[in-house]
Amino acid sequence: MKRVLITGACGQIGSELVVHLREALGKENVIATDIKKPSQFVKESDGFHYLDVLNRDELARLVVEFDVDTIFHMAAILSARGEQNPQLAYRVNMQGLMNVLEVAREKGVARVVCPSSIAAFGPDAPKENTPDDTPLNPTTMYGVTKVAGEKLMQYYFLKYALDTRSLRYPGIISSETAPGGGTTDYAVDMYVHAVKGEPYVCYIDRDTPLPFMYMPDAIRAIIELAAADSQRLKRRVYNVHAMRLTPGDIEMSIKKYLPEFQVEYRPDYRQEIAESWPHSIDDHNARTDWGWHPRYDLDAMTRDMIERLKQKHQ
């Protein structure tokens, strides 16, 4: 991994991935692309290139111009926004990934890393300790595109020996860049409201459990998977997990530090999406094959989130 291109580089995960990869590989070796305007993390002057992942020619041009050997494909429409516009989610998520895989194949890119999600699972998967191999019958368009994406990446590996790697992320909680259009976004919103001293109306029921991970762990997971010795990888897609949390758990943890915080629960259409997903994930294959291990638990995350958000919102 010497020269990487990141799609979705201004998104929740992409914006922090750029920073970490630039530290590891050097600024000039990380080509940040997005359809959005650069955030504070991905400045235009810092090797940012406008790219719509549906524009295959422009993607190919950048890959050739910068002699890219690894693509981190982070651009996607998430679950809640995907249910508002399933056709758009299909186009961006499926055609976007297909363009990345095809450009990688044609231009000799060695590796494509693209996250999947807990949204790949549907209501018929086991709710607790959901294994890697289990029915994948999602009920959201986002989930449909993630399952198809996993299969497509596996296909390019088998057919073209393209080194594709994927991990099923749980909900990601972050302080730097807000998520957008996801069902698990409430967790970040809760912290932001708490730090601003505002009450929060949560669109997911207090007792609905979902798998979560703090951003520093999420970044480490994808970088460690991308860097893992290929001999050690026994599969192309890995479950990764850190903590099983309900909105009530997060509220209680925040209240240890900000006791005045108030939450009201008013579930909307996203409740049904949350209920279709697992509560906790079995990630023993990731732990065995490439040494995955999360470092943050709920209270460690809450302390760090509050500290960082306080600095931002002062």
Site string for ligand SER, 43-82 (x = CB under 6 A): -----------------------------------xx---
Choose between 48 and 121: whose C-beta lies nearer to ligand SER: 121
CA-wise closest residue to 269 among 146, 183, 142, 178: 183
For 258, left (φ over 0), alpha (ψ -120 to 50), or beta?
A: beta
**Only segment of 123-131, 153-161, 180-188, 212-220 that touches ligand SER (CB under 6 A):** 180-188
Binding residue for ligand SER, selected from 183, 253, 276, 285, defined by CB under 6 A: 183
What is the DSSP secondary-structure string of 146-196?
HHHHHHHHHHHHHHH--EEEEEEE-EEE-SSS---S-STTHHHHHHHHHHH
Binding residue for ligand SER, selected from 17, 119, 136, 188, defined by CB under 6 A: 119
CA-wise closest residue to 264 among 210, 171, 198: 198
Q: Does 138 contact ligand SER by CB under 6 A?
A: no
Q: Does 184 contact ligand SER by CB under 6 A?
A: yes
Q: Does 171 contact ligand SER by CB under 6 A?
A: yes
Catalytic residues: 142
| Chain mean position to CA 294 | 15
Beta carbons of 169 and 232 less than 8 angstroms apart: no
Q: Does 213 contact ligand SER by CB under 6 A?
A: no
Distance CA 136, CA 157 (A): 20
Q: Does 182 contact ligand SER by CB under 6 A?
A: yes
Site residues for ligand SER per CB under 6 A: 78-79, 117-119, 142, 169, 171, 182-184
